[in-house]
Every structure is written in C-alpha cells, then in structure tokens.
A and B are shown apart, each in its own frame.
Chain A
C-alpha cells in the first residue's frame, strides 16, 4: 500500500478536505465542487489495488489495454494562486475518493482496510503540515425534500464547539431534538474523525441533511451538498464570482438540486398514483412537507415502514464480465 506523489508542493498551514461517496453523495459532491471552485491541482494518489477491485477492463482486438480501479486522489491549492478572492490564511489539500474501502458486503467503509485508508489519508495531512481536517457526509433525518437542509457538525475536540456554533445553518448533535446528544457517524467520515483524534489532529465532519425516505435512492441529493458547500465557503471566507468558471460550478450545483427536487416530486407522485406505497406512508411523507426540521411526529417505527416500501423500488444493476458479455458470441 503506497501513496504516489507527482509533486510535493510546499504549503502554508493547509486545511484538508475529504470527500467520498455516501448517502446521496452529499459529502463527495460538496467537497468536489469546492475543489473545482478553488481550481485545486492534482498532486498524488493512493495506490488503489490493495483497497478495491477493478471496476472496468478494456480489451481491444485481443489485447488487455487497461484495468480501471476507483481513484483516490489528492489535490492542492495555494492561497496566492487561488482564483477566488478570499481572506484565508491557509492553503488547501483535497482528498477525493471514488469509493469507500470495505470488507464483505457492507455498504460503507469498515474493518482493517478502512482503517488503513484513513491512516494513509492522514499521513498525507501530516506530511504537508495540516492541523485541521474536514470530512463530509449525509445526516439522515425527518425532513421533506422541499425543506432547506441544515448541516450537522461533529468535531473530534471540545475546543471546536465554539467555532462550530458560529457556522451558518449548522447544528451540533446536542441541538437535535430526541437525540440525547448522541449519535454515530458510519464509514470513513466517522473513522477519519476518530483516527485524527488519536493522532492529535483537529477534525470536523459536516453532514448535510437528507430525507430518510431518500437514503436508499440511487441518485444524488445536491440540496444537502449545497448546504455543506455554503458552510465550507464561509469557513474559507471565499467569495465566488458568479460569472467566473468557478461560479458556474456553483450554478450547476444549484440547477442540479432544482432538477433532482423536481424528479423526486415526480417520482413520489407516480408512486402515489400507482398506489405503490400504502396511503399511510404517503400521508407520513406529505405531513413532513409542512413541518419544521425537528423529527416531530415521525416515530422510528413509522420511518422503518416507509423505508421498507421506498427502498424496494430502487433497482440494483446486474453484473456481467467476460464470462457472459453478451448472448451474441462473447464479443462486442
């Protein structure tokens, strides 16, 4: 297991931002859009083959041309070359992973592989002098998809609480009704927070809210990403020029969020029309349209019942390889 660096930039007091796929790809989309806005430059990667199986092979005219693995890349941006005006006093490092490492059938990172990956990422953070790491993911909660998602923040050190309280549209676990100041962060987001704590690094996980009836959906939830991104831009004090290419990245995210919301409306309406979900489930979802952010009247049992009906409607993609690439003779 190795990290390959294409270059070793000298960075001033950098902050690391980590994004990988998860529920609604909220964290990945937020961090990757920030990377695009800041025009960060790729400078290294973690060798993927000990963490992931290859996803794609390209065979042309009998020759094995390429085997593609999920990528895990590092990017950097220096303050003085940042295209957007900002009052930051820190450079940036980004880690963007296309997949979470895991063992067995688990959906998100767990086990030794995930622990090794978290340590490799933090090796890079420490190598370049980072003292602060941000991760991002989804907070599955009882909100409607038309509501503005808040950002849940979990730090790994007590001294970060005061700073978090200054963030816009952001809440701590203790401020969420019915949670009793407790919760869990699964996958690499949680693991990285813990490993950073062990190493004495500050880390904060920012989680954009997503309606619980969409947590199994195969499409992204950019509305949650937008909320996280706005907090990150504020933290970095970045002002984005809407007419610049970086501003267009934000605009694309806005448009995608609108489109996804329209699609969700259409999807739910088609389910209701087809009577694919029981009336009481429909009523429970619709009731959320008119309630505030608090978990409110939806109980865990009701949530489970809704999930049972919605999740089964999302398709699974079949898997094929060279053993059965087609029914037409094995070549394409």
Chain B
C-alpha cells in the first residue's frame, strides 16, 4: 500500500499536498530546482518562465516551521515576503519543478526530505539545480554554463551539450549540499551555474536567463517561446549602451571587461551602481 507522506515519522512529511494526491502522472521525470536567493534572479526567473509557458500547477509545498525563522516577515521592494517551497507539475510526465527559498535551519533534513519526496512520490530519475555564478564577464559576452555533477555518467551525457566543468574548493552553496545528499541516495544530479556579469547581479540578467532556458529547452525539448526574453535583452542592452555613450568612464570599465581585463574593487562598485541606476 502506498504510504501517505503526511504520516508522522516519514522523512518526506515535510511536504503538504496542495491538491489531491495522485492527480499527477510521472514517468521517471527530471527534477528541476531553483532557489529564490540567486544572483540576477536567475534560478527563480528560469523556473517561473518554464512554469508559465507550460502552465504548471502547484503539487505540494514545504512545511515552513523548522526550516525558516518565522519571527516576522522581511520586506523587499515595499512588499512583505514570506519563505515558501513548492513542487510544480508542468503537465508533462517527464518534468517536475521545485522552487524554494533556501532553508535557513535544519538544512540536511530539508534536503533529505526533498530528495526523499522526489524519489518516492515522483520517482525522479535525475535532478538539475539552477543558479548563477557572479563573474567579471561583460554583458556583451556570451554566458557560459558551468556544471558540477555528482556522477560520471550524467557528466558524460551532458558534456556534449556545451556545459563547462567547474572547479572549486571552499564553502559549499546549498545546491552542492543537495547534490551530495542526492549522490548518497543514488540520484544522478547536476548543478548548472550560469555566468552573470557582476554588475547585473543585483537586478536581472535576461541573457543569462535565456542561456539557461535555451539549454533546458534543448535538453528536454520544451518548445519554449523565448521571444519575450529577446525583447528584454534588447531593451536592457540598449539602456546600458546609452549609459556608455553618456559616461566615458563607464564605457571604459566595460571595454576593460570586454578585453578580459579586471577592474579594481572601487571600479566594480562604481560600475554596478551606475548600471543599476540606468536600468
């Protein structure tokens, strides 16, 4: 008999179904994960784009207590924020999406419960995490997608698709922690880290969003219409071009980055500030 994940003692009882259990059908789907706290809003924007185009419905959501400090609400851009984490069913049996704030407490329990739920109730075959890595590339450069795999087999599968292997030793992001948890459960996984220029990190980088969506579109044959993003990229680039025309110093900074040279810390701050104002 299929167990109800809401049953006490189940690792996956950190999730609460939004609708009736069993209203979806999956066939070894891929789980795509994005965290709301992402530079250039890359991960959440990519997932929102997919959810909108594929008319996704909420499947279940995480119980917040125990994973987030619930001592009040944060206010961002005049709006009260509250943490959430939801699974989405996209109407396709090969894809399931999870978008969430990063857990602040009991991170292992959260990630373990996430993998457990995805494995038991969605029968996922692999998982992808999406995120941005802040870089000193110029906005006029193409966006590389760096990748971290938890198994060699999935690395071999994805390498021909143009992702570049990442090297890093230091404090881990939550996606690497998740990849490690998945590895221990035998779930193949990859973290995709799309480069974004540091001066677009505080806002949105539509080109990085498009690069990530294009990769996923190609990988999963999503038939996404990216025209809206093309227009946003054109508009963003036009605003930065105007700034460059009006401000020779800023133009010089960006030219330096385009020449693959680096800026000083003060110059980086100045460029980020002026671009944020212009956008």
Contact = CB atoms under 8 A, between A and B. Distances in A.
Interface of A: 49-50, 53-64, 67, 103-104, 319-325, 327-332
B167 A50 contact: no
B191 A103 contact: no
A36 to B, nearest CB: 28
A325 B148 contact: no
Contact of B146 (A50, A56, A330): A330
A329 B136 contact: yes
Interface string B27-45: 0000000000011000000
Contacts, number: 126
21 contacts: A50-B109, A54-B176, A56-B172, A62-B155, A63-B148, A63-B149, A64-B183, A67-B172, A67-B180, A319-B171, A322-B173, A323-B38, A323-B173, A324-B134, A325-B168, A329-B137, A329-B144, A330-B133, A330-B146, A330-B195, A332-B168
Interface string B173-210: 10111011001000000010101001000000000000
B113 interface: no
Given A320-B170, A323-B134, A57 B165 contact: no
Contacts of B135: 327-330
A61 B262 CA distance: 24
B167 A324 contact: no
A322 B136 contact: no
A56 B171 CA distance: 4
B278 interface: no
B228 interface: no
Contacts of A328: 135-136, 262
Contacts of A327: 134-136, 198, 262, 268
B108 interface: yes
Contact of A330 (B108, B134, B149, B177): B134
Interface residues of B, number: 45
A320 B144 CA distance: 20
A58 B170 CA distance: 7
B152 A325 contact: no
Secondary structure class of chain B's binding surface, majority of residues: mixed
Secondary structure class of chain A's binding surface, majority of residues: loop
A160 B38 CA distance: 55
B107 A53 contact: yes
Contacts of A58: 168-169
Given A103-B105, A104-B69, A323-B131, A62 B173 contact: no
Contacts of A67: 172, 176-177, 180
B166 interface: yes
A19 to B, nearest CB: 24
A199 to B, nearest CB: 26
Nearest to A68: B172
B97 interface: no
Interface string B136-167: 11000000101111101001000000001111
B180 A54 contact: yes
B25 to A, nearest CB: 31
Nearest to B106: A50
Given A50-B109, A53-B107, A331-B167, A64 B134 contact: no
Contacts of A322: 131, 133, 148, 166, 168, 172-173, 175-176, 191, 193
Contacts of A63: 148-150, 152, 155, 165
A158 to B, nearest CB: 39
B132 interface: yes
A185 to B, nearest CB: 25
Interface string B94-129: 000000000001111100000000000000000000
